Amino acid sequence: MKDKKISWGKALIYLCTTLTAAFCVLPLLLILIVSFTKESAIVRNGYSFFPQEVTLDAYAMLFENGATVLRCYANSIFVTAAGTVLAVMITAMASYSLANPSVKYRNGIAMFFFVTMVFNGGMVPWYMICKKIGLSENYLALLIPNLIFSPFNLFLVRNYMSEIPASLMESAKLDGANDGQVAFKIYFPLCKPILATVGLFYGIAYWNDWWNSIMLVSDAKYYPIQYYLMKLKSDLNFMRNLQSAGIAGGGFTPTESLQMATAVITIGPIIMLYPFLQKYIVKGLVIGGVKG
């Protein structure tokens, strides 16, 4: 009888897990299917898991200028990779300083970082500073403004490091190690879960960023993929409005399927990255958020 109760409990857990997974996967599947659906069929029947007319029009339009799309993809990959690595390193080193008992006034410094989570200087000072130091019409304009680490991520990593026994640091320093050696050879390797977690946060933020492109870049060769696709969707929506008003002729402009195709090619890299970091993420968030 006891075994039967356990099996029913496991069956319920499996059922709940399957339903949760389905609720997560089905919207992604619908996005993929709609991206291959003809625009006229979407207008007549709405979104459907079983499209009556399949087409590659949306992807053909996206990749009509293949060299441009590939260049924008390369820009996003470079900025995301370089920015994530640098931001994680800055966050890790700052967190080590705040978690180090030998650092004076570390609580006051932590309060300074906390204040920046609540208040900021605003968009106009941010823009003026970026222009003044030459962050415009170059890759640094896409990289540096987001490079300053997030205080939220800083506190996550600091809390994680605070859980590491101080005896490890004391033993290493007794053996002649300096703070750099302690940080890079002991603390950072032990902090892989939380560093992978904040690395995913930074990577998503860099990959999805289009604001810096609007404000600081006008040369098309520096466009990231997100900004390029946003401009393309804006142009197509404008064309569709003209068609609706009878100003422009033509058939159905694939705005709905184009939006879904845009989502597919933009979230694809992040979805492929997540499985490699999954084993670290839960552990990093749980341990990093325990202690304030």
Residue 51 or residue 216, greater confidence: 216
| Placement of tokens 């680490």 in the chain | 149
Whether pLDDT at 285 is above 70: no
In the predicted model, what is the mean pLDDT of the chain?
Answer: 79
For position 214, what pLDDT does the model report? 87
Given 1.10.3720.10, 3.40.50.10300, 1.50.10.10, 3.40.640.10, which CATH number is that of 56-288? 1.10.3720.10
Report which residue type is found at 180: G
C-alpha 258, offset from chain centre: 22
Nearest to 147 by CA among 222, 95, 91, 194: 91
Contact 158, 92 (CB under 8 A): no
Distance of alpha carbon 161 from alpha carbon 103, whole angstroms: 14
Structure tokens at 40: 């006229």
141-142-143 Cα angle (round to 5): 95
Nearest to 226 by CA among 207, 203, 204, 202: 207
* Measured distance between the N- and C-terminal CA atoms of the chain, rounded to whole angstroms: 45
Contact 41, 51 (CB under 8 A): yes
Quick one: average pLDDT of 16-28? 84
The pLDDT confidence band at residue 283, using thresholds 50, 70 and 90, is low
Residue 177, classed as helix, strand or coil, is coil
Q: What is the DSSP letter of 53?
A: S
Q: What is the DSSP letter of 148?
A: S
Residue 54, classed as helix, strand or coil, is strand
The pLDDT confidence band at residue 193, using thresholds 50, 70 and 90, is confident
Looking only at Cα atoms, what is the longest distance across the chain? 81
Count of other CB atoms within 10 angstroms of residue 210? 18
Whether pLDDT at 46 is above 70: yes
The 10s digit of each residue's pLDDT in 227-257 is: 887 877 777 766 666 666 665 555 556 677 7
Contact 142, 222 (CB under 8 A): yes
Residue 247, classed as helix, strand or coil, is coil
Does the pTM surpass 0.85? The reply is: no
Report which residue type is found at 249: G
For position 31, what pLDDT does the model report? 84
For position 243, what pLDDT does the model report? 61
46, burial (CB in 10 Å: exposed 0-12, middle 13-18, buried 19+): exposed
Domain boundaries, the chain: 56-288
Whether pLDDT at 77 is above 80: yes
Residues in the chain, how many?
292
Whether pLDDT at 198 is above 60: yes
Which helix (H) or strand (E) segment is 280 a member of? helix 255-288
Residue 37, classed as helix, strand or coil, is strand
Whether pLDDT at 292 is above 50: no
